[in-house]
Structure 1
Amino acid sequence: MVLNQRLERFLKTESPQPEWVQKIVTFCKRRPSEKIAFPLVITSFCVIEFIRSVDTSILTFLVRAVAEDLHASTVDSYWCSASYLFSMTATQPIFGGIAEVVGRRTCTLSATIIFMVGSIACATAKDISWLIGARALQGLGSGGMDMAFSLIIVDIVSLPRRPMYVALLQLCAGVGLIFGGLIGALVIEKLSWRWVFWINLPLTAVPLLCFIIVLHVEFTPKSFSQQIKAIDWTGTFLIIASLTSLLFAIFGGGVVYPWISKEVLGPLIAGICGLVLFILNERYVADRNYIQPLMPLRIFGNRTAGVGYFIAFIHGMSLTIISSIFPLYFYITDELSFIPTAVRMLPTPLVISCWVIAAGYVLNKTKRFKWSNVLGLVLLAAGFLLLFTLKYHSSLGQEIGYQVIYSAGIGILFPGRIMAVQSAQERDEDVGLAASLISVTLNLGQCFGLALGVALFDNFWNIRVRKILRDGFIPPNDIFYGNAVQENLDTIKSLPVAIKWHYQRVGAETCSYIFLIFAVVSGFTLFLSLFSRNLSFDRETRTRLVTHDSNTMSTSCSGSIEKSSADDAAMAVVACDDGSGNCLRTTV
């Protein structure tokens, strides 16, 4: 809007303007048609969701390559993955609060640029400390994009039609998380690991250009002083400090420091205390001081929303366990290299893709979510239980068939958990922030899943290896403990058959017990899901949208109209994907 006002003043000057200037001004004032703007925004969201999800899991397969190139230990390389998730999760709530103050578009553009700068820093890293810091910067941008996309989807798509678009974005995120393994395997076999980050630049630059041209979400600008006063600074400090302490303890426990040590217990206790203070601040301070609360507690105020967030948390843990632990089963028991392992796991993303689309279609038709979530959790629990039965000599049919079961459950849960949270909100203005916090919860689940998976693998592996060592089946010189397995996979494969057989059995048993734990966790989540209400989301969300060619204001994406001033009507136009209620608010 400010740009167009300056252009108008420029055109009203007495001196005649050259024709090329007139063309530039006309181009700047032109907005894409409604049939172009909406698909471009959704497509750009999908592309970036895939990229940022790939970057979440891809370094898991590049640990050894990174460690060798940068002369680092595997523990240091572990922090390259952890710092990305760490930064992404700790800062997401901040982006949600800031987006309410400075606007969705500003938040989206800033986060995308930060992600690109972080990718460049990763690709040019000279040592492991540089790479860990660059990954944290990249995670900051990734978290901001994820949060902004969740908010904008709520703004531009009406509630009844939202499941299909939510399913589409979640499909790209889920497939990217699993496909990160295949992409990582191809990179490590054919190229340098640095190409993982260089390829982000062209793939992100095109969506960024689309955002600049077509993404203009209606927003009432505020002065800089108003923006500063509106931010919940106390809540911002408390949530960053709390999540940073908590995530450091989670990622460091069992990997860098023992779980029962002051280096882990100190940050863990500090993080929990900080979260309690944050809740008290949001409840008693922010609202009463007329500050925009970072997380209004009413969002979590009913059991249906609470169950939806818990499902998202377990969903994130399950995704991380599947993408990190299951490949180790193939490496150790089947003696596969990176690319064959990634190919062996292809059924997982393919089945997830099919079921995300199917679940989104069903939700779009039924306008209910409860039994979709129940079915997804049943299949997820059954899938983990079947994985528990895998042995070192299990057949190919079992390894592939069991993937179909748990992948169906994972796919069904993607749209269902989000719609549970959105449908449970009593205020329309809370729907966007509530939906965006699903991303925070999912990423927290991934953080816990990564840390818990590493800790369980090391502990179960070490228990069995020590027993074999006591029984004299493996010489002391050929002993590899859990924290050294990934960097010595090739060494284990080259051992004599009699020794290697014991490691194959240990690997299969270790993975199976982890799967059993998650079968129990999924079953408990299934039990909780039965207590959620089967709410309908067949209602229009009320949003303040202004038409361009009349003195009226639309208050919902379905087209209901209220009177407004001519000045307000000139402020914005509304672009819809097909006139059916999916509105893209475009500021003029």
Structure 2
Amino acid sequence: MSDSTTQQTAPVAPMTHREVLEALSGLILAMFVAMLASTVVSNALPVIVHDLKGTESGYTWVMVSTLLALTATTPIWGKLADLFDKKVLVQSALVVYVAGSLLAACAQSMEMLIGARVIQGLGVGGLTALVQIVIASIVAPIDRGRYSGYIGAAFAVATVSGPLIGGVVVDTLGWRWCFLVALPFAVLAFVVLQRTLHLPDVVRRKVKIDYAGATLIAGGLSLLLAWVSLAGSSFAWASTQTALLVTGGVLALVLAVVVESKVAEPMIPLHLFRNRTITLAVIASLAVGVAMFGSTVFLAQYFQLSHGLTPTEAGLMSLPLVLGLLVASIASGRRISRTGLWKNVLVLGASVMALGVALLSTIDGSTHLWVVGAWMAVMGLGIGALQQNLVLAVQNSVRHSDVGAASSLVATFRTMGGAVGVALLGTALSHRVADNVAAGMARLGVHTSAKGHTEIPDLSTLPGPARQVVMGAFGEATGHLFLLVVPAALLTVLVVALVREVRLRTTVQHADELAPDLAAVVE
């Protein structure tokens, strides 16, 4: 037997409810920081991009750069969590996030801002993956639902307060402070984790870090995501650049598979994909990422450029989405912990999310705000029932020694879907807006070329008729984006319906990691 299968032969002693809550306090703060990284900036992006003289493509890249870094490094964080001290890793991710935030606040150009967002993404990737992994180390799957509900609540609070804080900050102090507002929470999270997070001792063993696999995985994913993000804007889909990026990305990932099949401590254990639950959850997470990130990232722009709202007002408009997410996250977590069954929650959540996406595909610049808010609430209910519980289903199906790698797989593909969704939908939005503006201006007797990737407009500087054309163009284009997301949402419903349900176990460890007599008791 390899070391990885013999490092734990006794059950992990269960923690009391109070001990778990104390440990969760720092983790919830860390998750709050991770969510603020994106939500606090969303309403400020139109102002940021206009101030730095960026384009619609730049608007998309500010978001994609963070998702790209998050996606490429999440598997690495997950595997490191199986090998090293999880508490130190969480704190390290917080330090990386703080460094990226400080650089972003000092950005003098779009290029510098995007680079700083990459560093932020490295830290957020660690926080997103590690919080779920640490919870899996201290709470058995049967009880994990209600604690995941607390994490979902933190997710919801950050999503609510982020746009609101960001809107107020950009309207009063300026957009640079949007990157600094989360720093006190990051410092507090670091201190609280140091004081309250006491993980069970594990048998330490000599490990070998899979540097080759980590490099190939990160490089391959980065090349493919860069291609998806740049193709159609910086170069044509059928071009030499496309051939180089796709060939390089695919070759790197093929080599990664070869390396991972041979090394003793692979970054992504390939045997995980033989698990039907993991494979289907990965596919579902990819589709959820497209629906969640790809849809919601453009709503702040929709409210500001189609309805003329201020950043603060646009932040208030995020409340329906987040309240739906909050209610569904807590309610579904408690139900799963009570029954030990999770598949019906996933299927219902996926169906409701698909319904919300379909309803949002009907909006345009003339849609009443209360209608948009109602459809956002429906989508939030679906996402809230899905995102935490997909991870729970995967964690329940693997050995405790593989929880880090398996959990990070779900997070990786969710953010990969988000990165691909944001990139493709951003390109589609740019072209759709340009075509709509050209057609609208032609009706006014002004002929312009339908050229995509135009600069983010300042509505206050436009004359009345042109202002109405631009607002209508962004409104119609946003509804079109949600229509493009409908297939991904429907795919999620199909995939979760195919998952085979296994009742949540009552121990932190899998049965085959326990002594034979104990395994017989818990199974």
User: TM-score, normalised to structure 2's length?
Assistant: 0.87
Maintained 8 Å contact 1:158/1:541:
yes
Given the superposition, is the C-alpha separation of residues 397 and 280 from structure 1 closer, same or farther in structure 2, using an over 3 Å criterion? same
Partner residue in 2 for 1:142: 124
What percent of counterpart residues are identical? 24
Q: 1:460 aligns with which of 421, 432, 436?
A: 432
Which AA in structure 2 matches 1:56?
S
Deviation at 1:155, TM superposition (A): 0.6
Larger displacement relative to structure 2 (236-245 or 311-320): 311-320
Which AA in structure 1 matches 2:221?
L
Residue by residue over 1:196-222, the C-alpha shift from the partner in whole angstroms, topping out at 9 and shown as x without a partner, is 232232211122112223334323345
Check if 1:448 corresponds to 2:420.
yes
Given the superposition, is the C-alpha separation of residues 54 and 191 from structure 1 closer, same or farther in structure 2, using an over 3 Å criterion? same
Q: 2:28 aligns with which of 40, 43, 46?
A: 46
Which AA in structure 1 matches 2:483?
L
- Number of equivalences: 504
Maintained 8 Å contact 2:77/2:126:
yes
Given the superposition, is the C-alpha separation of residues 442 and 179 from structure 1 closer, same or farther in structure 2, using an over 3 Å criterion? farther
Measured in 2, the distance between the counterparts of 1:42 and 1:523 equals 34
Measured in 2, the distance between the counterparts of 1:122 and 1:462 equals 29
Measured in 2, the distance between the counterparts of 1:69 and 1:505 equals 23
Larger displacement relative to structure 2 (246-255 or 86-95): 246-255
Residue by residue over 1:219-250, the C-alpha shift from the partner in whole angstroms, topping out at 9 and shown as x without a partner, is 3345xxx44xx112221121121112112212
- Which of the pair has the greater relative contact order for Cα pairs under 8 Å at 6+ separation? 2
Partner residue in 2 for 1:538: 505
1:61-210 aligned at under 5 Å gives the runs 61-67=43-49, 75-76=57-58, 78-177=60-159, 179-210=161-192
Maintained 8 Å contact 2:293/2:422:
yes
Maintained 8 Å contact 1:252/1:264:
no
Measured in 1, the distance between the counterparts of 2:190 and 2:324 equals 30
Maintained 8 Å contact 1:63/1:78:
no
Partner residue in 2 for 1:256: 234
Which AA in structure 2 matches 1:232?
D
Partner residue in 2 for 1:483: 453
Check if 1:496 corresponds to 2:464.
yes
Maintained 8 Å contact 1:380/1:406:
yes
Maintained 8 Å contact 2:152/2:326:
no
**Structure 1 residues not aligned, in runs of 5+:** 1-32, 545-553, 563-580, 582-588
Deviation at 1:347, TM superposition (A): 0.8
Which AA in structure 2 matches 1:181?
P
Maintained 8 Å contact 1:56/1:85:
no
Residue by residue over 1:309-341, the C-alpha shift from the partner in whole angstroms, topping out at 9 and shown as x without a partner, is 222222222222332223333334433222222
Residue aligned with 2:81, SS:
helix
Measured in 2, the distance between the counterparts of 1:542 and 1:476 equals 67
Which AA in structure 2 matches 1:346?
L
Check if 1:269 corresponds to 2:247.
yes
Measured in 2, the distance between the counterparts of 1:439 and 1:461 equals 32
1:383-402 aligned at under 5 Å gives the runs 383-402=356-375
For the pair shown, the structure with the greater C-alpha radius of gyration is 1
Partner residue in 1 for 2:483: 516
Given the superposition, is the C-alpha separation of residues 122 and 220 from structure 1 closer, same or farther in structure 2, using an over 3 Å criterion? farther
Given the superposition, is the C-alpha separation of residues 348 and 485 from structure 1 closer, same or farther in structure 2, using an over 3 Å criterion? farther
Measured in 1, the distance between the counterparts of 2:291 and 2:63 equals 17
Given the superposition, is the C-alpha separation of residues 463 and 379 from structure 1 closer, same or farther in structure 2, using an over 3 Å criterion? same
**Structure 2 residues not aligned, in runs of 5+:** 1-14
Given the superposition, is the C-alpha separation of residues 331 and 213 from structure 1 closer, same or farther in structure 2, using an over 3 Å criterion? closer
Check if 1:437 corresponds to 2:409.
yes
1:408-423 aligned at under 5 Å gives the runs 408-423=381-396
Maintained 8 Å contact 2:82/2:403:
no
Residue aligned with 2:234, SS:
coil
Over the residues paired in the alignment, what is the CA RMSD in angstroms? 3.0
Maintained 8 Å contact 1:99/1:148:
yes
Which AA in structure 2 matches 1:532?
V
Partner residue in 2 for 1:293: 266
